[in-house]
Amino acid sequence: MYLSDLKPYILKHEDMERMKILIIDDEKPITDKISHYLAKRGYEPVAVNDPMEGLKKLQHEPFDLVISDIMMPGINGIELLKQVKNLHPETEVVMISGFGDMNTVIEAMRAGAVDYVKKPFSLVEMQLAIERTTKFLKLQSELLASEDERSLISRQLEQMIERDFIGDSPAIKQVIEMALKTARDKDASVLITGENGTGKELVARLIHYASERDKKQFYPINAAAIPETLLESEFFGHKRGAFTDARDDKKGCFELANGGTLFLDEISEMPLTLQAKLLRALEERKVKPVGGDREIRVDVRIISATNKNLKELIGNNKFRLDLYHRLNTVVINIPPLRERSEDLKPLMHHFIRYFSKKKNLPIPKIDPGIYHEIEHYDFPGNVRELRNMVERAMILSKDNSLKVSDFFISQNGHIPVAEANINFNLDQTEKKLITLALKKCNYNQVKAAELLGISRDALKRKRQKYGIEVKRSF
């Protein structure tokens, strides 16, 4: 039987003490004895001496437990048991067997009886059989409840991933899979790497909410955003009077995140002195507030994020190797958006739906040219940039339709490069310039090379280097 089949029973049966028990035996003195005994112990017994009457009763009302004799005139107890199970699979049956009737007992157990008592039996033996059944049912109900809870979480999670975590590319699917697998271990440290705006914090949240720490805090902290003098107190807390401004005791982020997940954003920006203290806290699972003398036990999962190459920083003595090893039990790398073009369209639609709802606007019509444009754009700011682009376009759009010019605000057809958005990565910028030049010259390579100020051969080499295809639009 599937656990879920037990549901009606479990829902109905909140209070195990008040079990409704049907007693079926053709000998009245036996049913009288049992019901009297059970009624006194707080059960709700109903006794019948005719098996057919018993079945009729079962058709009209459910019972938690049936106690039935095996040998009865008119119907064999095994046959009765099968019919009971047919009517109410969730109803348990305890059989009363005659002396030396072991074969029938085995047959009854195979047909789904939960227990049996042998005649002649004492009432205590009967009581024990009922208690065993109750215990069994309670265990099953707990198991079902926990199964239910788990399946509920995973359904919620599935919805959350579908609703908030968008991506069709194999790369992003792998990221989700890694995040969910990692979530199952509640302690593993995770290092999430990726350029700005690729979704590192989103992945960190996904891990937290998919883990058993989900009822506790997800606490993000960014060392780069906190003045260096306050860092230690932000992380580990302080005692009143520990320094001039410490007027009260203050909890640090480790304590605030206790039981949950501490998300250390931009981990590379952490000063070396704090790195040493962080390592100690992680290794000992204890923190000491500034100005305090007592250490506090903490239990947190650490997820850190960086857009820098930590190995390079380690080589330059800017990051501790031992801390790096402590943080990177699992490493999840999110590739930049330009390397997963399959995600562009679904993400764009997602943000359009999101902003339509947020700004109370109808879903706009989309100029198909936009897809072409975004596919040839590099998105140095990754998903965040696309999100901002969609928001801006929706604000600028007219007549409920999105046009290329709403996305790429341009003078004379060029994609504008606002200073704040300049991508200083030479390779990426070179690739982008070459793509733009080719497009502007309608993929005439001689003209494009001229525009770029390089030879035709150089253009060819660079195209090969960056994998830029030449396509003409007719």
Ligand X SMILES: Nc1ncnc2c1ncn2[C@@H]1O[C@H](COP(=O)(O)OP(=O)(O)OP(=O)(O)O)[C@@H](O)[C@H]1O
For Mg ion, the binding residues (CB under 5 A) are 201
Contact partner at residue 198 from Mg ion, ligand X, none, CB < 5 to 8 Å by partner kind:
ligand X
Q: 445 near 458, Cβ under 8 Å?
A: no
Contact partner at residue 447 from ligand X, Mg ion, none, CB < 5 to 8 Å by partner kind:
none
Contact partner at residue 361 from Mg ion, ligand X, none, CB < 5 to 8 Å by partner kind:
none
Name the minimum Å distance from CB 199 to ligand X: 3
Nearer to ligand X, 277 or 345 (CB): 345
* Contact footprint for ligand X (CB under 6 A): 164-167, 172, 194, 196-202, 305, 307, 347, 350, 383-384, 387
Cross-strand pairs, 116? 95
Name the minimum Å distance from CB 353 to ligand X: 11
Nearer to ligand X, 166 or 298 (CB): 166
Cross-strand pairs, 304? 191, 264
Contact partner at residue 403 from ligand X, Mg ion, none, CB < 5 to 8 Å by partner kind:
none
Nearer to ligand X, 81 or 204 (CB): 204
Name the minimum Å distance from CB 306 to ligand X: 8
Nearer to ligand X, 357 or 465 (CB): 357
Contact partner at residue 332 from Mg ion, ligand X, none, CB < 5 to 8 Å by partner kind:
none
Q: Residue with structure tokens 């989309």?
A: 366
Name the minimum Å distance from CB 307 to ligand X: 5
Nearer to ligand X, 148 or 168 (CB): 168
Contact partner at residue 196 from ligand X, Mg ion, none, CB < 5 to 8 Å by partner kind:
ligand X
Name the minimum Å distance from CB 266 to ligand X: 7
Q: CA angle at residue 66 from 65 to 68, to 5 degrees?
A: 155
Comparing every residue's Cβ against ligand X, the nearest one is 199
Nearer to ligand X, 126 or 203 (CB): 203
Name the minimum Å distance from CB 347 to Mg ion: 17
The number of residues in the chain equals 474
